[in-house]
Structure 1
Amino acid sequence: MVKLNVKIVSMQDADKFNKICSKFDCDMDLQSGKYYVDAKSIMGIFSLDLSQPLVLNADTDDEQKVREAFAEFVQEA
């Protein structure tokens, strides 16, 4: 399991983020507080409060691949 703190600012960012998620063959969830949504669902992403900190949970062991793919969205804690 890979966990990354991410930031999605605009609708274009959300669309780009969603398309990157769709390229992975594993479960990916976005967490905002107590809420979890499927990161591969654009409607799920838009249902979250994007002004709050988000955590990407990727059900894979390839952390480097995930970090590289989402580098522009990663927020260091």
Structure 2
Amino acid sequence: MITVKILIDSAEKVKKFSAILSKENVECELIEGFRIVDAKSVMGIFSMDLSKPIQLKIHSDNREILDHLKEFVVAGA
């Protein structure tokens, strides 16, 4: 399992993030406090507070997925 902090602070980034994850054959969630949403769902993403980093949990050990998401990953968060 991979867990990272990401920042998706615009509508354009939400669409791009969702499109990237939709191509991956893995389960993944965004977690904000007690709220958990499907990370592939545009509506789910928009229900989160996008002004600050959010935790992304990917149910895979394949770290190559992070290469596709590197523009969203927040270093040191």
Instruction: Map 1:15-30 to 2 at 5 A.
Output: 15-30=15-30
- Helix, strand or coil: the match of 1:36? strand
Give the whole-Å Cα distance in 2 for the aligned partners of 1:54 and 1:10.
13
1:45 aligns with 2:10: no
- Report the CA distance between 1:75 and its aligned residue: 0.2
Q: Does 1:2 align with 2:2?
A: yes
Cα offset for 1:52?
2.8
Contact 2:8-2:53 within 8 A present in 1 as well: no
Q: Is the CA contact 1:32–1:52 (under 8 Å) kept in the aligned structure 2?
A: no
Q: 1:51 deviation in Å?
A: 1.2
RMSD of equivalent CA atoms? 0.9
Task: Give the counterpart letter for 1:43 in structure 2.
Answer: M
Number of the residue aligned with 1:58? 58
Q: Distance in 1 between matches of 2:72 and 2:53?
A: 11
Offset from partner CA, 1:45-71 (integer Å, 9 cap, x none)? 0011111320111101102x1220100
Higher helix share: 1
Identity of aligned residues (%): 39
Gaps of 5+ in 1: none
Runs of 4+ with >3 A deviation:
none
SS state of the match for residue 16, structure 1? helix
Alignment size in residue pairs: 76
